[in-house]
Amino acid sequence: MKKLLLITAIPNSLRAFLLPFAEHFRSRGWRVDAMARGVSTDTECIQAFDRLWDVDIHRNPLDPRNLLIAPSQIRDIVVREKYDIVHVHMAVAAFVTRYALKDVRNQGNTKVIYTAHGFNFYRGGPPIPNAIFLTLEKLAGQWTDYLVVMNQEDEKAAQRHHILPPEGIQYMPGIGLDISHYGHHGVTDGDILRVRQEMGLTADTPLFLSIAELIPRKRHEDMLKAFARVTKPKACLAFAGEGPLMAQMKKLAWQLGIQDRVHFLGFRRDIPTLIQAAIATILVSEHEGLPRSILESLSMGVPAIGTDIRGIRDLLEDGCGLLVKLADPPDLAKAMNWVLDHPQETRRMGERGQKAIAAYGLQHILQLHESLYAEALAKVNEPVLPVLV
């Protein structure tokens, strides 16, 4: 029996991205375990994985427990359980895990794989943090068998900076979207009517939707400032998500005089219905890996408006949506007004997006992981030397 250990910093990442991977590989006879902080009490993870391990990994990269406590926890479990593959997701968890296993992976048969959901260094990012994060990725690359990237900019950056040898860098279009869940057939007219009534909207009220945690890098303030410039007074804007900026964004909506047309919905489990009720979704983040919310929107045939950055650009540049400048509310307002003024072109844009989404489907990504794992298991461990550039 092959053994796979999936590691993230928090259980929410396992639930959001990796439960289908556990189901898939368990159905093929693998033992699939998971590790995250507090995961042992998570109901969904208890059902999805064979065994769960708690670890003191924290999302704050400066938390001292990440290097003082977590590495020995990870190392002891991996050595004792003799995992064939350790696959870690997200930057902080990935650095801590690879540091913990930097000697272990050369002593046995454990292969270490890291999926980057967007490097913490990126084009246009702050120079000093960019330099620090790049240095850390290059260091940790010496302790990694395979690096999986999910957008073109990260793939080129990994190759240009020699983070791993070329054969160790694998491009995959995302973490997989269950296209069967995000489709027209799964949402009824009654479902759409229900969410519209919840917000007090009529059947013909144009609705823009943002699906994103209310945190600074998602730049919700840009959406509010842009929406205040929208020319059609009947249009509405809804935010699906929670986060520390909720109160601040509600206050800004009042200050802009648009509070009656902006709806803060909090955490939602009916995202497909909300998308289907919208004329377009909006994501204007500072940086992304490959944003799931846009994948979901395109799968539903609803176009997206997004900032011209990595990940978002990959999904929208072929006419599946509209790209706007980062931190530019007037440009965003222009795109929103265009959507309102061009309903037929907007629908065609959504149709193009729906046709393009097949490459990002879950079944395709699962097949790519099967191939990657087979290649990793066939690879003979050799000492990894620093790459000289």
Instruction: Classify 264 as helix, strand or coil.
Output: strand
% pLDDT > 90, the chain: 91
Would you give the DSSP letter of residue 14? Answer: I
Q: What pLDDT is attached to residue 184?
A: 66
Which domains does the chain carry?
3-176+362-378 (3.40.50.2000), 184-360 (3.40.50.2000)
Report pLDDT digits (tens) over 19-29.
Answer: 999 999 999 99
Would you give the DSSP letter of residue 39? Answer: G
Q: What pLDDT is attached to residue 358?
A: 85
* Per-residue confidence band for 325, with pLDDT thresholds at 50, 70 and 90: very high
The rounded mean pLDDT for the chain is 95
CA distances from 367 to 20, 35, 68, 208, 363 (A): 12, 23, 37, 35, 6
- Structure token pair of residue 138: 């290059």
Cβ-proximal residues to 60 (8 Å cutoff; 6+ apart), any chain = 66, 92
Cβ-proximal residues to 258 (8 Å cutoff; 6+ apart), any chain = 224, 227, 228, 237
Q: What pLDDT is attached to residue 389?
A: 45
Choice among 179-188, 294-303, 343-352 with the minimum mean pLDDT? 179-188
* β partners of residue 238: 209, 263
- Closest listed residue to residue 55, CA positions, set 1, 112, 99: 99
Separation CA 38–CA 311 (nearest Å): 30
Q: In the predicted model, what is the mean pLDDT of residues 351-371? A: 94
- Structure token pair of residue 196: 């519209």
Q: In the predicted model, what is the mean pLDDT of residues 26-42? A: 98
Cβ contact 20:41 at 8 Å: no
Angle at Cα 214 formed by Cα 211 and Cα 216, nearest 5°?
120
Choice among 101-105, 117-121, 280-284 with the minimum mean pLDDT? 101-105
Q: In the predicted model, what is the mean pLDDT of residues 321-343? A: 98
pTM exceeding the 0.75 threshold for the entire prediction: yes
- Closest listed residue to residue 280, CA positions, set 228, 326, 244, 321: 321
Tell me how crowded residue 129 is: count the other CB atoms within 10 A of its CB: 12
Q: In the predicted model, what is the mean pLDDT of residues 7-21? A: 97
Side chain identity, residue 223: M
Report pLDDT digits (tens) over 60-72.
Answer: 989 999 999 999 9
Report pLDDT digits (tens) over 173-231.
Answer: 999 999 888 876 779 999 999 999 999 999 999 999 999 999 999 999 999 999 999 99
Q: What pLDDT is attached to residue 380?
A: 63
Long-range contacts of 372-380 (CB under 8 A, 24+ apart): 372/113, 372/146, 372/148, 372/170, 373/4, 373/85, 376/85, 376/111, 376/113, 376/145, 376/146, 377/2, 377/84, 377/85, 377/111, 379/111, 379/145
Report pLDDT digits (tens) over 112-145.
Answer: 999 999 999 999 999 999 999 999 999 999 999 9
Q: Please indicate whether residue 358 or residue 108 has the higher confidence score (pLDDT).
A: 358
Q: What pLDDT is attached to residue 384?
A: 47
CA distances from 73 to 8, 48, 64, 111 (A): 14, 22, 14, 18
Separation CA 96–CA 93 (nearest Å): 5
- Structure token pair of residue 334: 């222009």
Q: What pLDDT is attached to residue 180?
A: 84
* Per-residue confidence band for 107, with pLDDT thresholds at 50, 70 and 90: confident
DSSP string, 151-209: SHHHHHHHHHTTSS-GGGEEE-SSS-B-TTTSSGGG--HHHHHHHHHHTT--TT--EEE
Instruction: Pick left, alpha or beta for residue 147 (phi over 0 → left; psi -120 to 50 → alpha; otherwise beta).
Output: beta
